[in-house]
Structure 1
């Protein structure tokens, strides 16, 4: 057992030490990569007892692996949850948590602005399974409550929406969920701790694509589900390890844990750079609108100040003006992205590298055009994941690209 009382240390200390301690067999400081599919037993009786869970232990890496378990414990501590199950991707986490909470005939209330992959699950996969989904504007808690009916089992939304950076008042919606006996599931990928901890505000489950900020180095795909111990056990046993079969590889878990040790430092720098970029873009003669919760112009700036712990995420969305040098916002946007030198055109986020993309043709291309427009994902919208480069260099890069319009 760790000598450290994780409840008695600050966030930076906790995220380094949670879930990890020197290996008992070798004394190795870093958690070893248990790159094995199966585990041996001393006796048949021991094997039977581990299969039946009469005694703790590992039998097969799809059902559990020491490296993966260390990541799960670290992520549970990160979000202040009872337990966690890791998955091979963020979508693996979304699919498993939904399958674990709803069945044919049930109903989900879902935020109207979500990642494109999640949109396919909600608009296609869930209805195919006989599960109804109602999309609502989660910036309005009253609309969430109005959508709940006797078959509703889950309210689902993103804490900071992808790509329009709208916020939901988690505390208010959590009260509504509890009033109606509904589980609240939030995707916290855009605003990981130390920015925001949804469980402390009343959410039942938190999911992350750890591909993004939590790993933070652009070299891993993975996901996690954090929530009540008993519910996580069911989701792990029936859905992650069975119908989905999506545990992460031990090597990927090792990389995520390595990345997590610098999470507080990285997140603060991402947010600092993003604030400067948002202020720069808001003053640009080429930019029509900037969507960033840290700006006073953001319609939910006061809620952002209350919820986001003084850090407003490393993500920005913005639209160029129409008729920029005779170009439409869409055509100007394409030309602008193509002429950038430091920022890379890519669809992920949370990397040290600055990444920029066009949601309507990339991350949200699977969302019906009319649905995109309803929530503000126009053909001219650009999504920017601000990296860890020197922000002066990023601004210089944007300046040279704007000059070429």
Structure 2
């Protein structure tokens, strides 16, 4: 946009886009088209062989999606990004882009249920093994690394344990072993946490959550930090000729691309896994995510403030066994949250209600403002029972490993008036009392 470095609130409105050159439209146009006309044979050849960037088919790239990609890359400080059909697609294709059968991933055990299932049950069918570790001690990651390890995977704020790891310590371990650190920054968002500032190499998002912010669209994003050496000997797909694209070498072509820097990871992800698996984001959903991004910081300021007050209110209640929120001084993650999440510890919390599963059921069914559903990150406040919904497909042992307990209730706090939210919870506790 200019030589000036703009602030976050300005970038969330403007980064990656200028007024439409044809019509002058200020809003990002929705290019709802499958394909793009080539002006001649030379252009068709250049675009389809990636001799130059351009558009040919919306499964691989679309101008509306590109603005979303450029904006999220700018907000997180990455060199490039890729929009996909869901957060799960973002995580799965990221891992596939780095691994072959026989390779391993080391991941925090406190993961969203869908990611847990991907690592524990799905990827092993394709020969990729995951070692789950307790992220409370960074050395657990180091102890789990073998010669077959190809990545470390963590979440900014664990779901539903609401834990925070020592990112810089884990990043040092990853760097010492020549491995990329992948951070699922869905709960952190670019506003609360910028992974690359703390040593991460790849960021993934479920844009469905806070980025969209209104529960209307499903989508995912992958951001390339541009700060990893893919020619370190562990990733031959980046350093040997690619038979799918006339034998060019990804690292040679994209490792220091003029005007962009190191975009090797994100380009390979687009050319292989977006093209071949087809988990493309619709331009209309990209447009809706751009609308959400425009107010991300404003919503999160209110949501974080509401969450802090609810956490303190819950902690003082005699009918609550425990509260998991890193913004509480009683939290074991309070110091880490103060370091890594200075703008606030997020808008998600969990708590254990006295009375166990039966009381948790009655409480959830008694709320009037909080909606009982599986999503998080909406402007509307949401409530769910993780053991039944988000982690319901896991065995009891797997739930315990992931930090899921029968009495656990998860809140995703929205932007409503805080007095109304506290009233709703208070009446739900009263209605569910034995």
Q: Same fold (TM over 0.5)?
A: yes
| Partners of 1:304 and 1:197 in 2: CA distance | 13
Please list the CA deviations of residues 156-175 of structure 1 after superposition, one character each: whole Å capped at 9, or x if unmatched: 01110001101111111000
Aligned length: 395
State which of 149, 164, 186 in structure 2 corresponds to 1:152. Answer: 149
Shift of 1:45: 2.4
Written as runs of structure 1 = structure 2, the 5 A alignment for 1:4-403 is: 4-5=2-3, 8-227=5-224, 228=226, 229-242=263-276, 244-322=277-355, 329-403=356-430
Alignment partner of 2:291: what SS?
helix
Quote the Cα distance in structure 2 between the aligned partners of 1:144 and 1:11.
32
SS in 2 for 1:84: strand
Give 3-state SS (helix, strand or coil) of 2:154's partner: strand
Alpha-carbon offset, residue 48 of structure 1: 1.6
CA distance in 2, matches of 1:82, 1:12: 20
SS in structure 2 at match of 1:128? helix
1:42 deviation in Å? Answer: 2.0
Partner secondary structure for residue 63 of structure 1: coil
- Summarize deviations over 1:301-350 as a string: whole Å, max 9, x none: 0111011023110001000113xxxxxx1100100111110111011111
What SS does the corresponding residue of 1:194 show, helix, strand or coil? Answer: helix
RMSD: 1.0
**Alpha-carbon distance between aligned partners in 2 of 1:258 and 1:281, rounded to the nearest angstrom:** 33
Q: Check conservation: 2:111, 2:402, Cα contact below 8 A.
A: no
2:242 alignment counterpart: none
Task: Work out whether residues 160 and 403 of structure 2, in 8 Å CA contact, stay in contact via their aligned partners in 1.
Answer: no
User: So what's the TM-score if we normalise by structure 1?
Assistant: 0.96
SS of alignment partner, residue 85 of structure 1: strand
**1: CA distance, partners of 2:290 / 2:428:** 37
SS of residue in 1 equivalent to 2:192 = coil
* Whole-angstrom CA distance in 2 between matches of 1:312 and 1:388: 16
What is the Cα deviation at residue 17 of structure 1? 0.8
CA distance in 1, matches of 2:51, 2:185: 35
Q: Is the 8 A contact 1:92 1:240 kept in 2?
A: no
* 1:81 Cα deviation after fit: 0.4
SS at match of 1:26: coil
- 1:376 Cα shift? 2.9
Q: Which ranges in structure 2 are unaligned for 5 or more consecutive residues?
A: 227-262
Distance 1:8 1:73 in 2: 15
Runs of 4+ with deviation above 2 angstroms: 53-56
Rounded to whole Å, the distance in 1 between the matches of 2:78 and 2:136 is 25
> How far apart, in 2, do the equivalents of 1:48 and 1:310 lie?
48
